[in-house]
Amino acid sequence: MKQLMFHDDPPFWFETLRNLGLTAYVGSDVGEVIATAARVTPGDYDSWHDAWLSTAERLEAEARGSHPVSACDGLLRASSYYRAAEFFLHGHPEDPRIDHAYERGVSCFRDAIAHFPGVTPVEIPYEDTVLHGYLYRAAGEGPRPAVMMHNGFDGAAEELHFSGALGGQERGYHVLTFDGPGQPAAIHRDGPAFRPDWENVVGPVLDFLTQDPGVDPARTALLGVSLGGYLASRAAAYEPRLAAVVALDGVFDAVSALTAHLPLPHEEAVRRAAAEHDEEMDRLIADARARSPILRWAFDHGRYVTRTSNDREFLAEYARYSFTDGSAGKITCPVLVCEATDDLFYSTAEESDPRKLYRHLTAPKTLLSFTEEEGGDAHCHRVPSVWRSRVFSTGSTTRSDPLRVTRNARLQPLCAGGASRARAATHANPPHIIPGGRDRPKTKEAPWPSAQNARTPCATEKPSWLPPTPSSRPAAAPTACRWTTSPRPRVWARALSSAASATAQASSAL
């Protein structure tokens, strides 16, 4: 996708695009995102924090005094902007702005989802602590398929609400999102740091989820985003209860995203990173991060989430997140590997990391590519509506959803008789690759599983009696509307809420 802002700062543009991608489920507003990003000085982490914090605080203050519908919308968006505010500050973990913005964002999110039916915060027992997450319970009777979702190197469980969890719930799945070790809820609250043996994380989460009588244990899948594509796949290699796994995107060797920026062969960089002392290597890393905004952020954040003391130590730790040990071949459940054709972090000059993972799989597998034409070519496809409809797609010849493929001869045993039969399916069947863009077979959304499973209107949905958007153009800059041809719906909703409040005050005065 063409870089429209921050032309010399790819991480700032990527995070802007990331926030733009949350609009479909009210996780952001286009005007607010553009207006906020326009106030940011490229390369200046303090400027980034101040701009997003200002927008988040303004929205939260407005929301908490608004009509319940406007309040819910505003709190959801504020939660995203608080999360964005602290994103680049992790090079200095003692900075109080980090925890302040994080806690405010979680508070806004939890207050907002209190209005959503079937969405509940949960605490999952894990070793001597708990993992924090959210359970999205689908409508309908009887045991239903379920999807566990987690983010990767830097994403939060709350972000998954907008990018996948609600979409899964609407399509008839129970969805459990969670932050594992090293992810935001753990790392902000003195919990465990990242670990590569993710099966030891997924096991307790599966125990928790499958105790629910409404969950069908034979149709429980795992979806991981970004580095989560490695973590979820790694878990599937050693956790036999998983019915399917989705790597969004596929990651074969995580550290290659960093070593590609170093003036050393990959193998030498990994070997030297593990040395007890290597001052020349330290200088090479320092010089590389001074030149690369990507490395600058990645090393800062990496030390934070792995609790390593310096950049070289983090590089050595990150090298453990790799399938070069052959463990990808241990996966037996069906795997959906997603690929971005213009990934910011993983080069596609030769063989992309998703394709490396795909090549090493011996289980039933599908490769799903996302392209610039459909707006999904960025890392993790930062237009979630694109991957939601394709990953959850059913009723088409592609059958890209591993849980809902009852008419697919390759994966039919999964739904006909559970995971055990799927694992017994022959690997002789040729895997199918689903290209992106204009060559992709047409797909259509699955029908609602039943009339009872149609989405229940909730507090975030606008009532049908709202007046149409007026055609006059607002002039006030703070509302970020000057560049549009008509007022943004979120601004109009705020105006409607204010008008309703004024009317109520006038009525009480009479």
Site of tokens 């303004």: 58
What's residue 485's pLDDT? Answer: 30
User: Tokens in use for 116?
Assistant: 């959503």
Q: Are 130 and 123 in contact (CB under 8 A)?
A: yes
Enumerate residues 6+ apart whose C-beta is below 8 A from 455: 170
For helices 30-37 and 10-20, give the axis angle rounded to 10 degrees: 160
Q: What is the DSSP letter of 453?
A: G
Q: What percent of the chain has pLDDT over 70?
A: 71
Of residues 428, 470, 254, the one with CA closest to residue 343: 254
What's residue 141's pLDDT? Answer: 85
Mean predicted confidence (pLDDT) in 370-394 = 58
Mean predicted confidence (pLDDT) in 345-362 = 81
What's residue 345's pLDDT? Answer: 61
Q: What is the pTM of this model?
A: 0.77
Task: Tally the residues of the chain.
Answer: 510
User: Tokens in use for 407?
Assistant: 């008419």
Mean predicted confidence (pLDDT) in 32-56 = 96
256-295 exposure pattern, b = at least 16 Cβ within 10 A, e = fewer: bbbbbbbebeeeebbebbeeeeeeebeebbeebbeebbbb
Please give the Cα distance from 209 to 70 (Å, whole number): 33
**378 band by pLDDT with thresholds 50, 70 and 90:** low
User: Tokens in use for 156?
Assistant: 């939060």
Q: Are 293 and 10 in contact (CB under 8 A)?
A: yes
Please give the Cα distance from 64 to 332 (Å, whole number): 49
> Does 465 or 292 have the greater pLDDT score?
292
What's residue 389's pLDDT? Answer: 57
Mean pLDDT of all residues belonging to the chain = 78
Q: Are 415 and 425 in contact (CB under 8 A)?
A: no
Q: Are 392 and 149 in contact (CB under 8 A)?
A: no
Enumerate residues 6+ apart whose C-beta is below 8 A from 319: 255, 270, 273, 274
Please give the Cα distance from 156 to 161 (Å, whole number): 9
> How many Cβ atoms from other residues are within 10 Å of residue 341's Cβ?
19
Enumerate residues 6+ apart whose C-beta is below 8 A from 218: 243, 417, 418, 419, 420
Q: What is the DSSP letter of 438?
A: G
Choose, from 226, 233, 322, 393, the residue flagged as catalytic: 226
What is the chain's percent helix, strand, coil content, to nearest 5? Answer: 45, 10, 45
Site of tokens 């909730």: 458
User: Tokens in use for 132?
Assistant: 């924090």
Q: How many helices (H) and strands (E) does the chain have?
A: 20, 9
**229 band by pLDDT with thresholds 50, 70 and 90:** very high
What's residue 4's pLDDT? Answer: 73
The CA R_g of the chain, rounded to the nearest whole Å, is 23
**Which H/E stretch holds residue 98?**
helix 96-113
233 is catalytic: no
Reduced to 3 states, what is the DSSP secondary structure of residue 280? Answer: helix
Please give the Cα distance from 51 to 38 (Å, whole number): 9
Please give the Cα distance from 303 to 269 (Å, whole number): 17
What region, left, alpha or beta, does residue 450 occupy, with left being phi > 0 and alpha being psi -120 to 50 degrees? beta
Please give the Cα distance from 436 to 453 (Å, whole number): 30
